């Protein structure tokens, strides 16, 4: 799908077709001139990411700049309704990721006496790199739908980590959808239309907006900065690391449940930063906490961002340059049985906290082949010892099994699980 | 300031200068290669908006795509400290809007044992069209600073409107700053650094992020869509309407307090939308509520977005095409003693509300010469009769006197008021 085909134009064409077919649709203005899109929209265009494939898009897809993440509770107890919803959602997702409306009549189409089958706020905006990635939480595998035997062992609840201050109302959930795009309006539109389609069958449990992706997932991307001002994503699994992805990211046949083959496990952690305290910490201390310098992002004692970490290097007094409690030392694969993560987090600011402080931090997301061998040990070592802990607080947590990709128009999200 | 000059490069230069002057700054890597910025950053570049001028930037500046709005309480009771803060803020604002760091050492500069004088998360990002616009709330004119006699009559508290469901903790405030930019990270960085600089003198009362500007303020901009899916900002005051701006937007000499000459009054209203209910309303009803069609944004009965509204037009049964309770009829200048507004609002999504619904809506902002003759009558007529009221709820309110522009480097925010 070319990035020049906007929703508006598709709507015009699609709807004209419907009108020609004699259906009772409203008058259309397909031929009229479109105003020039704003700079940001042009900028954000970025074309459409293919929806069908072996893996779901939105995992190794080069991280887009904006996020709307949503977690749903399933409120129907009928498995057939859940199955039907997944089919409807998949059809809508396939359309929206290609820059089309959620429904087939076009955003404001359908019968005038019926609600439109698209909410309309993304009309005229391009696909903007939208990806929609679905995942299933452990709670979906309870008795309600007879899925208990299909639950992967890797979807075991995360342990309670030292310092956790989790709020249940913004944690967990039966089904998650990660919407990433270059334009927040496009990501919000997608989530909102999935919620609309799900009416009566799912209800929004929590949702989170994010901006300024805090990880690179490709070597072609510059490393962005998190709200502590540091480059984030330097030592990340990247789409170019093919052998490592096979080893560390994708679930392989024989890993456990077959329906997860080609999929990956997503851990989400909303991590509040005490930005006001951080902003009064000396530069030296900030750099020692991460083990990297703030300007360049280089390992302490090295010059360039991508210079390798040297945990043995010492300063003149014989102290390690990268301290024992530095974040990158504790999180590094060499300290965690060679566990890698594909981090894909976003900055968030949720206004202020009523105590005179910004409510800001990192919405951490990481994909992996098995959280029991990856996220859990890394986070245990961080939660116990990370010097950063003085400035952060984990307030929400989620773990979701994201199946392999939708293969074609006959396939749908969760088919292998539900049938 | 050219859009090619990034913070990173300025930092390199500026800091090198400081280093040459022999100050104890940290090692710098000015000469190193910078990674290519991400597509969205390039896209969002948009150059720098001039900071000095007769009026503050951020009012008729073509609306940027992202907002971080903050309201502060002043916590010092010393007028001299407030005055000093305004000088420090102005210097930082003049720098940040030109794509530089908040402080003079560069983002990670200063003494290693001191906190950096910039928080660093916008390092490497261009100015991105950042504007910072300051305003003073009525509460600043109480007895604390001896400013009671300088309070403009136009800053009278807004009346309570029918249906208001205002939360005091996210309403009002002594000083507001509106940060608009094409990149949210740049807007957030600016607000966060002002809060950092203000430590001990001001405290964040509330703050709000927004995206997808819901108004055009220039005829060169396409009209964006709000979260009800309708084009918003068609009939807005625009920077090209010079005569109307003089009549309706800018405070003129003789209007009241001299310190407000060249300024404007800002009303903010956070308006929650019941999106789930809205999404189940028929298209016909949605269109009748606004009095415009959803696809094109044309007045009902007309063809094109900018066709004039014809309130006398009737349908075949003799009913007005634009109903008596339609939003555009009630809000139109002809219904409100020729009152115009310069609307400059943003969409917001603040996650979900814990009741299964998205917490989403419009952060309405409007500038005007005198709210007593403009916002108040318009909102009274809307609050009483607008068919839209079934789907919205006003949850926060603010009114701020935004003075004229900072003239040059010797001037500062509020100087005419405070001295
Ligand atoms: C607010 C919380 C956090 C912040 C601000 C933060 C920030 C950073 C920064 C600045 C780096 C260095 C640059 C890079 O290589 O990406 C880094 C590395 C890393 N972080 Fe975090 N991080 C946070 C939480 C976490 C959590 C919860 C985990 C996983 C449990 C994690 C895992 C990692 C890993 C695996 C690395 C790479 C280490 C290496 O191999 O060099 N981080 N983080
Ligand atoms: C969630 C709340 C609101 C929504 C969704 C909304 C939406 C709209 C839309 C779609 C239009 C037509 C397009 C245009 O000319 O811009 C419009 C026009 C307008 N609105 Fe609103 N609006 C809201 C609240 C308000 C409020 C609180 C005020 C002021 C008190 C206001 C004042 C106006 C004015 C003055 C016009 C132009 C009318 C004309 O001259 O044609 N709106 N609004």
Task: For residue range A96-107, list pLDDT tens digits in order.
Answer: 999 999 998 776
CA A331 to ligand 1 center in whole angstroms: 7
Interface contact flag, B286 A196, Cβ < 8 Å: no
B 312-351 → A contacts, CB under 8 A: 347, 349-351
Mean pLDDT of B344-351: 96
Relative to the CA of B333, which ligand 2 atom is closest? Answer: 40
Ligand nearest to the CA of B360: 2
Mean pLDDT of B191-204: 96
Q: What is the mean pLDDT of chain A?
A: 88
Tokens of B165: 């469901």
| Residue A79 neighbours by CB distance under 10 Å | 15
Tell me the nearest-neighbour CA distance from B234 into chain A, angstroms. Answer: 12
B 69-88 → A contacts, CB under 8 A: 70, 73
Residue B417: what pLDDT? 97
Mean pLDDT of B60-88: 97
DSSP single-letter state for residue B69: E
- Report the alpha-carbon angle B268-B227-B57, nearest 5: 40
pLDDT tens per residue, range B112-155: 888 899 999 999 899 999 999 999 999 999 989 999 999 999 99
Tokens of B412: 């500062």
Interface contact flag, B211 A120, Cβ < 8 Å: no
d(CA B413, CA B93) in angstroms, rounded, equals 10
Relative to the CA of B328, which ligand 2 atom is closest? Answer: 38
| Residue B83 neighbours by CB distance under 10 Å | 16
Mean pLDDT of B256-261: 95
A233 lines ligand 1 (CB under 6 A): yes
Interface contact flag, A347 B28, Cβ < 8 Å: no
Mutate to test the interface with B, among A199, A219, A351 (most CBs of B within 10 A): A351
d(CA A219, CA A342) in angstroms, rounded, equals 13
B 224-243 → A contacts, CB under 8 A: 224-230
Query: Range with the lowest mean pLDDT among A19-33, A59-73, A139-153?
Result: A19-33
CA A239 to ligand 1 center in whole angstroms: 18
- Residue A256: pLDDT band (50, 70, 90) is confident
Whether pLDDT at B156 is above 80 = yes
A228 lines ligand 1 (CB under 6 A): yes
| Three-state DSSP class for residue A328 | helix
d(CA B131, CA B179) in angstroms, rounded, equals 6
Whether pLDDT at B369 is above 90 = yes
B295 contacts in chain A (CB < 8 Å): 11, 26, 28-29, 107-108, 123
Percent share of chain B, pLDDT over 90: 82
Mutate to test the interface with B, among A295, A352, A398 (most CBs of B within 10 A): A295
d(CA A354, CA B245) in angstroms, rounded, equals 37
Closest residue, chain B, to A295 (C-alpha): B108
Q: Which residues line ligand 2 (CB under 6 A)?
A: B 226, 228, 230-236, 269, 271, 273, 290, 292, 309, 327-328, 331-333, 341, 361-362, 364, 375, 378-379, 382, 392
Closest residue, chain A, to B349 (C-alpha): A209
Smallest CA-to-CA distance from A70 within A225, A183, A196, A155 is with A196
pLDDT tens per residue, range A270-292: 999 999 999 999 999 999 999 99
Tell me the nearest-neighbour CA distance from A153 into chain B, angstroms. Answer: 29
Whether pLDDT at B315 is above 50 = yes
CA A327 to ligand 1 center in whole angstroms: 7
pLDDT tens per residue, range B11-38: 332 232 222 222 222 222 222 222 222 2
For ligand 1, atom 28: residue with the closest CA: A379
Q: Ligand 2 test: best mutation among B159, B162, B217, B235, most atoms within 8 Å of CB?
A: B235
A341: which residues sit within 8 A by CB, 6+ positions away?
A236, A237, A248, A366, A367, A368, A374, A375, A378
For ligand 2, atom 39: residue with the closest CA: B332
For chains A and B, count residue pairs whose Cβ atoms are closer than 8 Å.
Answer: 271
Tokens of A34: 């479109």
Mean pLDDT of B262-277: 97
Of the candidates A121, A228, A286, which has its C-beta nearest B225's C-beta?
A121
Residue B11: what pLDDT? 30
Residue A107: what pLDDT? 62
Percent share of chain A, pLDDT over 70: 89
d(CA B212, CA A184) in angstroms, rounded, equals 7
- Residue A38: pLDDT band (50, 70, 90) is very low
| Three-state DSSP class for residue B143 | helix
Interface contact flag, A295 B43, Cβ < 8 Å: no
Ligand nearest to the CA of A346: 1
d(CA B392, CA B273) in angstroms, rounded, equals 5
Helix axes B184-197, B79-96, angle to 10 degrees: 150
Ligand nearest to the CA of A163: 1
d(CA A9, CA A100) in angstroms, rounded, equals 9
Residue B109, Cβ density class (10 Å: 0-12 exposed, 13-18 middle, ≥19 buried): buried
Residue B9: what pLDDT? 34
B338: which residues sit within 8 A by CB, 6+ positions away?
none
- Residue A46: pLDDT band (50, 70, 90) is low
Residue B107: what pLDDT? 62
Smallest CA-to-CA distance from A372 within A346, A401, A343, A405 is with A401
What is the number of helices (H) and of strands (E) in chain B? 10, 9
CA B277 to ligand 2 center in whole angstroms: 19
Mean pLDDT of B384-408: 98
Q: Cα B354 to chain center, whole Å?
A: 28
Whether pLDDT at B278 is above 70 = yes
Tokens of A140: 């979906």
A367 lines ligand 1 (CB under 6 A): no
B212 contacts in chain A (CB < 8 Å): 121, 183-185
Interface contact flag, B116 A206, Cβ < 8 Å: no
Residue B13: what pLDDT? 28
pTM metric for this prediction? 0.89
Tokens of B25: 């700054």
Ligand nearest to the CA of A228: 1
ipTM of predicted assembly, 2 dp: 0.86
Smallest CA-to-CA distance from B96 within B1, B4, B173 is with B1
Sign of CA dihedral A81, A86, A87, A92: positive
Determine the longest span between alpha carbons in chain B, in angstroms.
Answer: 84
For ligand 1, atom 10: residue with the closest CA: A232
Of the candidates A183, A212, A349, which has its C-beta nearest B68's C-beta?
A349
Mean pLDDT of A315-337: 96
Mean pLDDT of B279-298: 95
Interface contact flag, B229 A347, Cβ < 8 Å: no
- Ramachandran assignment for B320, one of left (phi > 0), alpha (psi -120 to 50 degrees), beta (any other): beta
Cβ A368 vs Cβ A374: under 8 Å: yes
Ligand nearest to the CA of A232: 1
Residue B46: what pLDDT? 55
Q: What is the mean pLDDT of chain B?
A: 88
d(CA B202, CA B71) in angstroms, rounded, equals 10
B158 in reach of chain A (CB within 8 A): no
Query: Range with the lowest mean pLDDT among A45-54, A169-178, A367-376, B131-140?
Result: A45-54
Whether pLDDT at A147 is above 80 = yes
Whether pLDDT at B86 is above 70 = yes
């Amino acid at each position: 799908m070319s990035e020049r085909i906007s929703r508006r134009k598709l709507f015009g064409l699609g709807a004209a077709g419907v009108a020609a077919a004699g259906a009772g649709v409203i008058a259309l203005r397909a031929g009229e001139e479109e105003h020039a899109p704003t700079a940001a929209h042009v900028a954000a265009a970025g074309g459409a990411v293919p929806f069908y494939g072996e893996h779901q898009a939105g995992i190794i897809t080069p991280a887009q700049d904006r996020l709307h993440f949503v977690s749903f509770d399933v409120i129907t107890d009928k498995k057939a309704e859940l199955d039907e919803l997944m089919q409807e959602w998949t059809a809508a997702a396939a359309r929206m990721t290609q820059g089309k409306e959620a429904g087939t009549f076009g955003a404001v189409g359908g019968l005038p006496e019926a609600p439109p089958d698209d909410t309309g706020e993304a009309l005229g905006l391009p696909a903007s790199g939208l990806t929609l990635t679905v995942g299933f939480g452990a709670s979906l595998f309870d008795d309600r739908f007879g899925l208990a035997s299909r639950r992967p062992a890797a979807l075991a609840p995360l342990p309670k980590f030292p310092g956790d201050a989790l709020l249940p109302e913004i944690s967990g959930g039966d089904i998650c959808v990660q919407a990433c795009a270059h334009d927040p309006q496009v990501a919000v539109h997608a989530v909102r239309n999935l919620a609309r389609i799900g009416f009566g069958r799912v209800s929004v449990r929590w949702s989170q907006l994010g901006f300024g992706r805090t990880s690179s997932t490709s070597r072609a991307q510059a490393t962005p900065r998190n709200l502590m001002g540091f480059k984030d994503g330097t030592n990340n699994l990247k789409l170019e690391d093919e052998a490592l992805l096979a080893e560390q990211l994708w679930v392989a046949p024989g890993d456990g449940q077959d329906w997860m083959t080609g999929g990956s496990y997503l851990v989400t952690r909303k991590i509040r930063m005490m930005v006001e305290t951080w902003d009064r910490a000396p530069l030296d201390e900030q750099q020692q906490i991460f083990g990297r310098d703030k300007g360049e992002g280089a390992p302490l004692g090295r010059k360039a961002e991508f210079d390798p970490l040297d945990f043995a290097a010492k300063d003149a007094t014989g102290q390690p340059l990268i301290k024992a409690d530095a974040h990158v030392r504790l999180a590094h694969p060499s300290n965690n049985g060679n566990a890698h993560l594909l981090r894909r987090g976003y900055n968030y600011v949720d206004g202020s906290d009523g105590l005179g402080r910004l409510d800001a931090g990192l919405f951490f997301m990481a994909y992996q082949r098995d959280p029991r061998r990856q996220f859990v040990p890394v986070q245990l070592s961080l939660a116990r010892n990370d010097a950063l802990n003085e400035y952060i607080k984990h307030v929400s947590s989620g773990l979701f099994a994201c199946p392999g990709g939708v293969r074609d128009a006959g396939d749908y999200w969760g088919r292998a699980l539900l049938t």
